[in-house]
Structure 1
């Protein structure tokens, strides 16, 4: 029997959209998961940003160490004056004083004098109460903290790559399940239409079978769209153009067994291995040194100072002089500035300590959550496998009885739907298990570029 006009239109429309949203090109190059992880580490902008942060911290060490070195400044000043004191002093610096310059009238009413002063100035801190050393220590700690944060960014990037990569595998697997269901439903539709033409079935059964195929065609279009979205998400993480196409390798496999370690093992491992926890501990150490730096401002400071000066009026002759000395500086009263700075630093120590306690608690929660998700996904895999076997056996029984006129069509379609749902649930459980494994490794700070082999 022919399909009604609206049914034909629906089927042709879904067929055309299916061709437009066809999956990846047949000649797409396969990309294994570990190669994808390596590519993400190389090309993702977050990796470059982390390296830049480390480089900034390293340059802060260089800047801090400069406090041990003498500071040299060169200045050039040009001036003109008829101020009696400055005019006489300027001429004296130019080494051009003569007997006539001591005449009272010339001393009181000098002519304007021009001067070009070239000064080389030196300041060399000898003792700063430990402030320079503390600043260097802080800068070095900053490098360590930036390195730990970069390690954490790398771990998070690996986990994101695993999730996006397996998400693309899942989307393709879902499409395969739907296409298999379409193949089965089309066979049923053809069988029912044949029975209807023979008078062994009613028209409503033929229409219902046609509708079921159309519903599955719509699901296929959605599944193909999901593949495109998953591909774009993975491309973004890998640092590729979002339109680039490549194939992925199936990584959704049934696990042999759960990791043998207990949950307390993973929680202890997380507190020890998480790079971001190490970074916050380093931040606490930096805050402690900031307190010491603030207190050091109460101590005396000693520096050597000196300058070499060249004074000239017309650049054809010049007078030179130098000055060398030492300077001791001790703050007697700062208007509570140093005390306030010290209390501010002590408050920052308390703040970092509170953040550290909060992070410790959050890490334990994340680890436990990932561990329980892993257990749940593992148990669901075996249940889903059993459900597939039961659904396949059930479909076989219902199909035989439908062909013998013992069951209505709705029972056959329900049995076919149950099998499709069981297969979808199975691949979803495999996906959830792989992602939960990555999340547990991420939460415990043990995920690396060798995942998933390194997690077995």
Structure 2
């Protein structure tokens, strides 16, 4: 048995032994793979959680306009009771003297409920609007992640398909070379071919086996990448149901102004536009720190003191108040001014980033459209090349069998056929990959 055969059998047995006996392969189409990724991809799950966190920030911002109610309770023990000072004349001392008295009980209990309701705070409205904008920006960021995940899954799926097709192409080449070797041995036995032709045929066969081993391993690697991108367990077995086919009818050409369509549809652009609005609200929010704050306040309180701990015998007098509290900022060490300037700089940064992103989108649209068109032209050219290469190989093979052509001519014809098919396969892969990327660039990925 040849060493390459032994190695292939060994690798196959190792793969089979590594699989659970009850494992059933999961059939995947490109569409089902995308659906699974939208459900299981961990990056997308993180982005979804971030959107939920942004929703809670809106609730938090609104809470600053609601009343604050707090209850408190306090117990104190006085080893030395509190001291009060009275004029000395109360107890027969001089006018300039003070009399001291220890008052109250050794045990003191205090409890109450305090209420505060903001009446005027300029920053509350800006805070709510900023939180709402942040929530929308977070949703656009999630859409951006979803578009990236969908694109990555489709590309990973296509990587598996082209690797499988490349492996199949090399296996076909191996089958042709093995047949040529068989023919060479037959002709050698008949005295119609030289020993050198047989050796060349043998070398051609053996030179293909390492590439088949590499591609076999490459198929498993690309499947692993696909499973990780989708969010499946790496140990799970998958079988792809789609094939690497060229369907020009399925391609939807963009409109006359693809750039404007892309700007209006891309979630990245929407996110930066919202970020710019958010930074404007941040400026208003920081500026509001200079404004006075007015709140209504109230307190209901009860307290008791005694020299014992028989609480049921305590007297619990109530006291209360309601009023207004005004807070006027005067000087905060230039912190407010610095924060306002930081917000202004952030707004300028977001404006520049938005302009830069639009230029990037313009370039991406132009490059993607050019790549799609180039790959379509390559497919048309390679279709003709494959047809000619197949015809050339058949003619050369027949001529070689008749002793008219050399073994070298047959090897060149077979290599040209394999290369033509490989180039055609690569052109289809490049076209499909380019259309996937174009969908992302144009913002045509639906959620």
Normalising by structure 1, report the TM-score: 0.87
Distance in 2 between residues matched to 1:187 and 1:297, nearest whole Å:
86
Distance 2:6 2:198 in 1: 20
Moved more, 32-41 or 246-255: 246-255
Q: Contact between 2:114 and 2:298, CA under 8 Å: does it hold in 1?
A: yes
Does structure 1 conserve the Cα–Cα contact (< 8 Å) formed by 2:25 and 2:236?
no
Instruction: Kindly state the Cα deviation for residue 389 of structure 1 after the two structures are TM-superposed.
Output: 0.6
Distance (Å, rounded) in 1 between the aligned partners of 2:405 and 2:205? 20
Question: Aligned partners of 2:113, 2:207: CA distance in 1, in Å?
Answer: 86
1:253 alignment counterpart: 245
Q: How many Å apart are 1:41 and its aligned residue? A: 0.6
The structure-2 alpha-carbon separation of the partners of 1:58 and 1:274, relative to structure 1 and needing over 3 Å to count, comes to: same
By how many angstroms is 1:165 displaced? 1.2
State the partner residue of 1:404.
402
Given the alignment of the two structures, is residue 283 of structure 1 paired with residue 282 of structure 2, yes or no?
Answer: no
1:386 deviates by: 1.0
| Residue aligned with 1:297, SS | helix
Q: 1:155 touches 1:442 (CA, 8 Å); kept in 2?
A: yes
Which secondary structure does the structure 2 equivalent of 1:109 belong to?
strand
Q: Which residue of 2 aligns with 1:360?
A: 358
Unpaired runs of at least 5, structure 2: none
SS of 2:248's equivalent? coil
Deviation at 1:21, TM superposition (A): 7.5
2:114 pairs with 1:114: no
Residues 32, 248 of structure 1: 8 Å contact kept: yes
2:156 to 161, 164, 169: 164
Q: Aligned match of 1:340 in 335, 338, 341?
A: 338
The Cα shift of 1:438 comes to 0.9
Instruction: Give 1:213-362 correspondences, 5 Å limit.
Output: 213-256=205-248, 259-261=252-254, 265-313=257-305, 314=309, 315=311, 316-362=314-360
Distance apart, 1:133 and its partner CA: 0.8
Secondary structure of residue in 2 paired with 1:84: strand
Where 1:317 maps in the other structure, the secondary structure is: coil
Distance 2:432 2:2 in 1: 41
Taking the TM superposition and a 5 Å limit, the aligned residue runs for 1:41-120 are 41-81=38-78, 82-85=81-84, 108-110=100-102, 113-120=106-113
Residue 126 of structure 2 aligns with which residue? 134
How many Å apart are 1:336 and its aligned residue? Answer: 2.2
Partner of 1:184: 176
Aligned partner of 2:28 in structure 1 is 31
Counterpart check, 1:417 vs 2:415: yes
Cα 1:351–1:249, aligned 2, differ >3 Å: closer, same or farther?
A: same
2:317 counterpart SS class: strand
> Contact (CA 8 Å) 1:21, 1:224: kept in 2 or not?
no
Q: Distance in 2 between matches of 1:421 and 1:22?
A: 30
Task: Flag the 1:202–1:22 CA change in 2: closer, same or farther, 3 A.
Answer: farther
Contact 2:84–2:102 (CA under 8 A) maintained in structure 1: no
Cα distance in 2 for residues equivalent to 1:104 and 1:336: 57
1:276 CA drift (Å): 1.4
What is the deviation of 1:204? 1.9
How far 1:52 sits from its partner (Å)? 0.6
Asked if residue 151 in structure 1 is aligned to residue 143 in structure 2, the reply is: yes
Shift of 1:321: 0.9
Q: Using the alignment, how far apart are the partners of 2:57 and 2:378 within structure 1?
A: 52
Return the offset for 1:107: 6.2
* Corresponding residue for residue 5 of structure 1: none
Q: Distance in 1 between matches of 2:189 and 2:84?
A: 124
User: In 2, distance between residues paired with 1:312 and 1:40?
Assistant: 65
Given that 1:253 and 1:430 are in contact with CA atoms closer than 8 Å, whether structure 2 keeps it comes out as: yes
Q: Residue 229 of structure 1: CA displacement? A: 0.9
3-state SS of paired residue (1:243): coil
Number of equivalent positions: 426
Deviations 1:351-381 (A, max 9, x none): 1111111221222222222222111111111
| 1:437 CA displacement | 0.6
Distance 1:72 1:29, change over 3 A: closer
Separation (CA, whole Å) in 2 of partners of 1:433 and 1:332: 66
Looking at structure 1, the residues matched to 368 and 235 of structure 2 have their Cα atoms a distance apart, in angstroms, of: 33
What is the CA deviation profile of residues 305-324 of structure 1, one whole-angstrom value per residue up to 9, with x for unaligned ones?
A: 11121212343322221121
Structure 1 residue 16 corresponds to structure 2 residue 13: no
